Amino acid sequence: MTRPIELWYWPTPNGWKISIALEEMGLPYEVKYVNIGAGEQFTPQFQAISPNGRMPAIIDPDGPDGLPLSIFESGAILQYLGAKTGQFYATDRRHKAEIDQWLFWQVGGLGPMAGQTHHFRQYAPSMIKDQRQIAYGVRRYTNETNRLYGVMDKRLADRPYLAGADYTIADMAAWPWILPSLQGQNLDDFPNLKAWVERVGERPAVKAGRALGEEMRKNLAASGAAAEEARKVLFGQKAR
């Protein structure tokens, strides 16, 4: 009997990538919540499997040669799970290259830039007194996120998914980061991207993975002492 994979997780776009993948691939898993607002990502237990102190991470008790394997970094996890199950990835070198380049595009571009957009639009106003600093950050990252939306829209003009005709781990990586209301974007300006967001979002496994732990998510942009403490921990303003 297959033993469940440990998913070290918090309900954020990077966490959703892996919960969606596990649901899509039909792999049994056990959730280990890592409350990033409480600083649980900095505990020795978590950093033993995620040295960078970022979630998600997994432990596969049935790794290569039957030995446990821990993996951090969402892109590496997606590649591992795709190769392990033979699902939503590829062995053909040409198709694999298509998937990998869009996976790395998300990891190196869409995720970091959209994440900075979230920071300056949602969190920074309650953290920085000089609103001029915030205004520059909002413009810089909102415009870059807009550009990246355009890259996806163009890519999806003549294919249903990022790597071509098939839904893959590249789509699982990018979909959670398309959050237009938080990123100052209007999906109506990107019709191909909008259709893809809806197409992927209708998948039952995507719905299940996206909903995982939603009740535990706290709004770090909220007001109040608890939210302020969470922001200080999350953005490195409080000693650990």
Flag whether 239 is in a domain: no
- pTM for the model stands at 0.90
Question: What local confidence, expressed as pLDDT, does residue 239 receive?
Answer: 44
Flag whether 38 is in a domain: yes
| Residue 170 CA: distances (Å) to CA of 90, 101, 102, 123, 138 | 11, 8, 6, 28, 27
* Amino acid present at 14: N
Check whether residue 103 and residue 188 sit in a common domain.
yes
Flag whether 28 is in a domain: yes
Check whether residue 146 and residue 178 sit in a common domain.
yes
Flag whether 46 is in a domain: yes
Please check whether residue 144 is in contact with residue 169, taking contact to mean a CB–CB distance below 8 angstroms: no
Check whether residue 178 and residue 221 sit in a common domain.
no
Question: What local confidence, expressed as pLDDT, does residue 196 receive?
Answer: 98
Which CATH number characterizes residue 226's domain? Answer: 3.40.30.10
Check whether residue 47 and residue 145 sit in a common domain.
no
Q: What angle do CA 179, 182, 184 make, to 5 degrees?
A: 100
Give the range of the structural domain holding residue 34, as residue numbers without chain letter.
5-87+210-234
Number of domains into which the chain is organized: 2
Question: What local confidence, expressed as pLDDT, does residue 134 receive?
Answer: 80
Flag whether 240 is in a domain: no
Question: What local confidence, expressed as pLDDT, does residue 228 receive?
Answer: 55
Question: What local confidence, expressed as pLDDT, does residue 109 receive?
Answer: 97
Question: What local confidence, expressed as pLDDT, does residue 118 receive?
Answer: 85
Check whether residue 17 and residue 63 sit in a common domain.
yes
Check whether residue 70 and residue 115 sit in a common domain.
no
Question: What local confidence, expressed as pLDDT, does residue 237 receive?
Answer: 44
Check whether residue 49 and residue 141 sit in a common domain.
no
Check whether residue 66 and residue 34 sit in a common domain.
yes
Check whether residue 146 and residue 64 sit in a common domain.
no
> pLDDT tens digit string along 46-60?
999 999 999 999 999
Flag whether 77 is in a domain: yes
Which CATH number characterizes residue 129's domain? Answer: 1.20.1050.10
Check whether residue 139 and residue 80 sit in a common domain.
no
List, run by run, the mean pLDDT of 10-residue segments along the chain (240 residues).
Answer: 91 97 98 92 95 96 96 98 97 97 98 90 67 82 96 98 98 98 96 98 98 78 50 51
Check whether residue 196 and residue 99 sit in a common domain.
yes
Check whether residue 20 and residue 44 sit in a common domain.
yes
Q: What percent of the chain is helix, strand and coil (3-state, nearest 5)?
A: 60, 10, 30
